[in-house]
Amino acid sequence: MRTNRIWSWLFVALAIAYFALPLIGTFEFSLKMRRAAYSLDAYAVVLGDPRFQQTFMYSVLMALATIAVGVLLVVPTAYWVRLKLPHWRPFMEFMTLLPLVIPPIVIVFGYIRLYNTSSWLPLTGSAMGTNVLLMFGYVVLALPYMYRAVDTGLRAIDVATLTEAAQSLGAGWVTILARVILPNVAVAVLSGAFLTFAIVIGEFVMAALLSRPAFGPYMQLLGANRAYEPAALAVIAFLITWGCMALIQVVSRFAPKPPEQLH
């Protein structure tokens, strides 16, 4: 037991070193813009750059749209599968895991070829159409996490009983979903939403290939041309990701406990 603990501390210490070094390194580098002393100049330059503000806002809006569409798509589906189509669950699991197996670059390549200006659905023909396409692409990327989170959340509540109770009080499907099911899986939905936010905000390949002015391509561009600003951007991006995960932790405290598992 005691030797175990020494090894455990060793592994954890090594891991902390590996993960802390790049973070410290980046932070230190981001402060070195002024020659003689540490300064926040790099941050000032980045935050003051109008393209930073524009692309960041664009990605934030994209993330919010993705979350809204994702929730509208995933919650009713996961609910319906739990309630009426339990034998579909393996199929749904397979479908929602596919985006982890098919690389995003392949998916977006398919979009470009399938929805180009000469196709039956010329989404890439207009800026708005491309935005919508990109947003659907993000929904696909978020699908594994979103579906997982919501399905786990639904497991913690008794879907069938809640539905019957609501129906016996005369509620229709929309009311049931919006007033009964959604509040009960709110924590799961929020967790999925924050994760989606973290994924979308820095996403590069889809936005770059669809030529949208998103935050990811902006960061890449800045990185190719500047020295210290990218480090500052990396620190900012890390803080955003960290903020999303911290929010997941915070909302998880309010999750209903899943029923005791029987072994």
Partner 1 sequence: MSFAWLGVMPFLLFALLFLILPTMKIVVGSFQTNEGGFTLANIANLFQPSILSAYWISIRISLASALLGCGFGFLVAWAFVLGGLPGWIRSPLLTFSGVASNFAGVPLAFAFLATFGRLGLVTLILRDWFGINIYGLGFNLLSFGGLTLTYLFFQIPLAILIITPALDGMRREWREAAAILGASGFQYWRIVAFPILWPSLLGTFALLFANSFGAVATAYALTGSSLSIVPILLFAQIRGDVLQDPHLGYALAFGMIVVTGIANGIYIWLRARSERWIK
Spatial contact of 180 and 163, defined as CB atoms under 8 Å apart: yes
Question: What character string, x for contact with partner 1 (CB under 8 A) and - otherwise, covers 56-95?
Answer: -----------------xx-xx--xx--xx--x---x--x
Name the segment binding partner 1 (CB under 8 A); options: 33-41, 52-60, 97-105, 154-162: 97-105
Counting Cβ atoms within 10 Å, is residue 133 exposed (0-12), middle (13-18) or buried (19+)? Answer: buried
CB 104 within 8 A of CB 141: yes
Nearer to partner 1, 11 or 50 (CB): 11
Q: For partner 1, which residue of 45, 47, 156, 199 counts as binding (CB under 8 A)? A: 199
How many separate helices (H) and strands (E) can be counted in the chain? 13, 0
Stretch that binds partner 1, among 56-64, 148-156, 160-168, 216-224 (CB under 8 A): 216-224
Among the listed residues 133, 89, 96, the one whose alpha carbon sits nearest the alpha carbon of residue 115: 133
Q: Are the CB atoms for 53 and 218 separated by under 8 Å?
A: no
CB 243 → partner 1: shortest distance, Å? Answer: 9
- Name the amino acid, one letter, at 234: A
Contact map string, positions 112 to 141, toward partner 1, x by CB under 8 A: xxx---------------------xx-xx-
| Options 39, 155, 223, 255; binder of partner 1; rule CB under 8 A | 223
Binding residue for partner 1 (CB under 8 A) from 98, 127, 160, 169? 98
| Rounded distance between C-alpha atoms, residue 177 and residue 171, angstroms | 10
- Does residue 174 touch partner 1 according to CB under 8 A? no
